Amino acid sequence: MKRWLIILAAGAATVCSYAADTNWPAYGGSPEGTRYSPLKQINKANVAQLKEAWRYDTADGAGASQTQPIMVDGVLYGITPKHKTVAIDAATGKRLWQFDSGMEGNSPNRGLVYWSDAQGKNRRIFAGVRSYLYALDATTGKPIPEFGNAGRIDLRQGLGRTTDGVSIVLTTPGVIYKDLLILGGRMPEALPSAPGDVRAFDVRTGKMRWQFHTIPHPGELGFDTWPKEGWTYAGSANNWAGMAVDAKRGIVFVPTGSSASDFYGADRLGDNLFANSLVALKAETGERIWHFQAVKHDIWDRDFPSPPTLVTVQRDGRKIDAVAQTSKQGWLYLFDRANGKPLFPMEARAFPASDVPGEQAAKTQMVPLKPAPFARQQLTAEGLTKRTPEVAEWAKQRFAGFRSNGQFVPFTTTQETVIFPGFDGGAEYGGSAFDPDTGLLYVNANDVAWTSSLVANGAASTAKSTYLSQCAVCHGDQLQGSPPQFPALRDMTGRTAEQLIATIRQGSGRMPPFPAISAKDLDGLVKFLLSGESKEGLNAAETTGPKYRFTGYHKFLDPDGYPAVAPPWGTLNAINLNTGEYAWKVPLGEYPELAAQGIRDTGSENYGGPVVTAGGLVFIAATNFDKKLRAFDKATGKLLWEATLPFSANATPITYTVAGKQYVVIYASGGKDKRGTPTGGVYVAFALP
């Protein structure tokens, strides 16, 4: 029996719509995902006067949310840390209604989808909670009974194979084309997993209208790039980062990620089309128009990490409608929307073979030659930290044991390989912002190094096998973790079995849920974590499954917890898409304690994207440690304004007007600073006095 809770404030049905309102009706601001606003009431001349106008505290416990809200006709729609959907008066911050599905979500949830009919009478909000998609009445927050099964559909159904025990969640909202809601999803990155099919659902009924197989079935293009039976068991190749729609041409642009399992691909030999691809589909039918595969047979987790941005550029005196796509490698691709023709040069380059038995890395990969990368491409001894003489010497000694040869170097079992930029990019999920007046694209980037390797598998006890196959990829063979990103699990003091079971089943923050672990194996795993037995005795070779497995995500940090590479550790970049040249690049973010010591402008890791306005400004939060929302001069990169938020905001801001007044809103939740910093869930609005 389904249980829902709707909290409806008095007067919610009487929210006014003002003629002067300028909405932010979609994730990314528009179906094109440009993150551009024509508003200029707030501009370079007065942005220093911005003050907090209101804040809404979701009061929903600890958070790690990444939500960009939407605003339609005076109502702001957002998500709470536990995945309740909330409607807020966009001018005052007063809550109008809240929908509680009765299920608690913990995974990243970056936004909602709004749809209305031509008359504006049938208005819906689509929200993802765990493996379900809900259709809510935009005025009341109540589920719409004629949609799916009493207001929701199960995203695990309709994939053509059994997905029992596999989670599919909407980390990023889908896109609307006419009366279709087009969705991807996030699923496990290790087997068992679900296929990453792109699907379109009828916005009124929830019925699936079309389906594109990212892991091709027999007779489909790309089938021969997988093992013959790969379509029956291979997983992922999914769109978790978001899409963009060219409504005029009827094209949806879909970037995809790697196939499961991420790092050892002996069971999926071949190029693995349509994984790691930008695919242009007919939005009406799901038919492929063109595609570009950025990484063949990905064994580095080099997903496309951000939604595409639809732009218009100048070439030889004529305008070309194009699609821009950023990557974890720090590369920017630009294609003609209609036919997929690259608008900047690329070349096929040879890369090393794998020395791991059973693995066959692709011989060549395509590399863009212009624009220049917006993140560094290879770590050398000269690029290590020099923050203090002691950490410089430590980094030098540690680096001497790594293999660091740039991009697409396969992992080995003999030493750790440097991934630079790291597993999180380069570019990240926030996406890029495009200014149609200048042709400048704004993208923020991480610029820190990670390392890892592979290890051989063998036979093991059930508890150890479960841990090594499901948990060690992040928390390490010896339960040591890779703090602060992935905590150690050596000391579970204060944690109960019930708490651990709930976290494993439901997920938490970056950690996905693990519903496929059997009750018996889960019981053994929890007892193993709580047992207090010597973790040093854990044999990394004792496990079942693939012959080799990934040893985990190891961020290259110095002994004090700072990146062991030289700054900048995060940047904001402005790239002219007409020429491929950089207009400017500035560090983005700081560590407050280093800044207090005079070590400023280091940049920091950042998650969340920019917004650009006709007022001459780029607004961005995103930084992990300093809790700032900033405004930059979009022409020069000069910092013009900043405000401190209640938590770091690993999300993208929005801007809109209500009754002629412009607001800038950001959702601050925290969660990326793993040094014990509090988290929560607060929407904060800024406006001129």
| CA pseudo-torsion sign 372, 377, 381, 385 | positive
CB contact at 8 A, 503 and 515: no
List Cα–Cα distances, 171 to 111, 121, 132, in angstroms: 8, 29, 12
Region 341-350: what's the mean pLDDT? 98
Region 602-607: what's the mean pLDDT? 98
Amino acid in position 59: A
Instruction: Scan for tokens 């690029």, then name that residue.
Output: 383
Q: What pLDDT is stored for residue 165 in this prediction?
A: 78
Nearest to 379 by CA among 474, 457, 451: 451
List Cα–Cα distances, 667 to 66, 150, 547, in angstroms: 8, 30, 43
Query: In angstroms, rounded to a whole number, what is the distance separating the alpha carbons of residues 241 and 239?
Result: 6
**Paired strand residues for 349:** 365
Task: Evaluate if residue 175 carries a pLDDT over 50.
Answer: yes
Residues in the chain: 689
Task: Evaluate if residue 249 carries a pLDDT over 50.
Answer: yes
Q: What pLDDT is stored for residue 222 in this prediction?
A: 99
Residues in contact with 162: Cβ distance below 8 Å, sequence separation at least 6, in sequence order:
none
**Tokens describing residue 648:** 């770091």
CA 627 to chain centre: 19
Task: Evaluate if residue 96 carries a pLDDT over 80.
Answer: yes
Task: Evaluate if residue 272 carries a pLDDT over 60.
Answer: yes
SS3 content of the chain, % helix, strand, coil (to 5): 10, 30, 55
Q: Please, which pLDDT band fits residue 500 given cuts at 50, 70 and 90?
A: confident
Angle 25-30-35 from CA coordinates, rounded to 5°: 110
Query: In angstroms, rounded to a whole number, what is the distance separating the alpha carbons of residues 95 and 74?
Result: 12
Burial class from Cβ neighbours inside 10 Å (0-12, 13-18, 19+) for residue 393 reads exposed
**Tokens describing residue 126:** 């689509």
Nearest to 677 by CA among 626, 643, 609: 626
Instruction: Scan for tokens 């630079």, then name that residue.
Output: 420
Q: What percent of the chain has pLDDT over 90?
A: 80
Q: What pLDDT is stored for residue 194 in this prediction?
A: 96
> pLDDT by residue (tens digit) across 535-586?
444 454 445 568 999 999 999 999 999 999 999 999 999 999 999 999 999 9
Query: In angstroms, rounded to a whole number, what is the distance separating the alpha carbons of residues 480 and 485?
Result: 12
Q: How many CB atoms lie within 10 A of CB 554?
A: 22
Query: In angstroms, rounded to a whole number, what is the distance separating the alpha carbons of residues 555 and 564?
Result: 9
List Cα–Cα distances, 317 to 19, 314, 324, 374, 578, in angstroms: 38, 6, 20, 27, 10
Give the DSSP H or E segment for 524: helix 519-530
Q: What pLDDT is stored for residue 371 in this prediction?
A: 99
Whether the upstream peptide bond of residue 421 has omega within 30° of 0, thus cis, is yes
Task: Evaluate if residue 460 carries a pLDDT over 60.
Answer: no
**Tokens describing residue 605:** 């890791």
Angle 158-163-164 from CA coordinates, rounded to 5°: 125
**Tokens describing residue 500:** 């651990």
Q: How many CB atoms lie within 10 A of CB 398?
A: 17
For 456, the 3-state DSSP assignment is strand
Q: How many CB atoms lie within 10 A of CB 519?
A: 8
Average pLDDT score over the chain: 92
Q: What burial letters (b/e) apply to 48-64, b meaning 16+ CB within 10 Å? A: eebeebbebebebebbb
pTM of the model: 0.90
**Tokens describing residue 143:** 């589920």
Q: What pLDDT is stored for residue 20 in this prediction?
A: 52
β-strands 175-177, 152-154 pairing: unpaired
Give the DSSP H or E segment for 277: strand 277-282
Domains assigned to the chain: 5-371+578-687 (2.140.10.10), 458-545 (1.10.760.10)
Q: How many CA atoms lie within 13 A of 441 on its CB side?
A: 31
Q: What pLDDT is stored for residue 484 in this prediction?
A: 55
**Tokens describing residue 628:** 């700032």
Q: What pLDDT is stored for residue 104 in this prediction?
A: 92
> pLDDT by residue (tens digit) across 109-161?
999 999 999 999 999 999 999 999 999 999 999 999 999 999 999 999 999 99
Amino acid in position 297: H
